[in-house]
Amino acid sequence: MKKYNIGLVDDHLLFAEGIGNMLTGKPELTISFITSSVTEMFELLKHESVDILLLDINMPPFNGRDLIPRLKMLYPNMKIMILTMYQPMDIGLDIKAFKGDAYVLKISGKQILEEAFSHLMNQQNYIDPNIVIPEANTDTSKQKVKLTKREIEIVRLIVSGKTTKDIAQELFLSELTIKTHRKNISEKMDSKGLADLIAKTKDIIQ
């Protein structure tokens, strides 16, 4: 079995350590280092062999997106997975122009992260299915609300009468993740309750 060395870089060290603990149970993965500093990351990469680097997009005073070209130049064989709380459009990034190898949202949970690793280990890029890709439309006043595939899936389950706990169990996600999705859906749809949400999403979920 091929072993893959992993580096984790996140300005929230507790989060990075949590991901590291989760990955430690994977026999095909070995944690090379965990750091909250980009400067320390570059020093560690001089001495540590890393196959897959998990990098937050927001690493003050650096921008993770701007670090990717430099990392690719220095370590062309290293896969870079952005692991972030930000949708690409929230930071002005066109996901079609993304230069990394995987883009994963922190809200998506363990299953999506494992899918991303599987793709990278098979030399395939990976884009989180929960990412919103805006429809091309020059008239912003006519742009429709865009739900992600995951959000549409959750709305369908809500409409079918499933509780937050039921949905979490069915999708193998935490209840906190489902609650966050529901909050985001309500804000996007500007819904005032379940009946209003059903009315506003009936065309989307058909």
Q: Which residue has the higher pLDDT, 110 or 205?
A: 110
Token readout for 73 is 């130049």
Across 93-106, average pLDDT? 88
The pTM (predicted TM-score) of the whole model is 0.67
| Cα 64 to Cα 57: distance, rounded to the nearest angstrom | 4
Residue 12 DSSP symbol? S
| Matching fold, domains 4-127 and 140-201 | no
Q: Quick check: 66 and 20 in contact, CB under 8 A?
A: no
Q: Is the peptide bond before 61 cis (omega within 30 degrees of 0)?
A: yes
Three-state DSSP at 181 gives helix
Q: Which CATH architecture has domain 140-201?
A: Orthogonal Bundle (1.10)
Domains of the chain, residue spans: 4-127, 140-201
pLDDT above 60: residue 7: yes
Q: Could you tell me how many helices (H) and strands (E) the chain has, helices first? A: 8, 8
Can you name the residues that pair with 105 across neighbouring β-strands?
84
Residues 6 or more apart whose Cβ sits within 8 Å of residue 144: 135
User: Residues 8-31: pLDDT tens digits?
Assistant: 999 888 999 999 998 988 899 999
Place of tokens 């884009």: 127
**Whole-angstrom Cα distance, residue 42 to residue 23?**
22
What is the pLDDT at residue 201? 75
CATH assignment of 4-127, among 1.10.1070.11, 3.20.20.70, 3.40.50.2300, 3.40.50.300: 3.40.50.2300
C-alpha distances in angstroms, 157 versus 110, 130, 150, 163?
20, 16, 11, 8
pLDDT value at 86 more than 60: yes
Instruction: Characterize 173-192 residue by residue with b for buried, 16 or more Cβ atoms within 10 angstroms of its Cβ, and e for exposed.
Output: beeebbeebbebbbebbebe
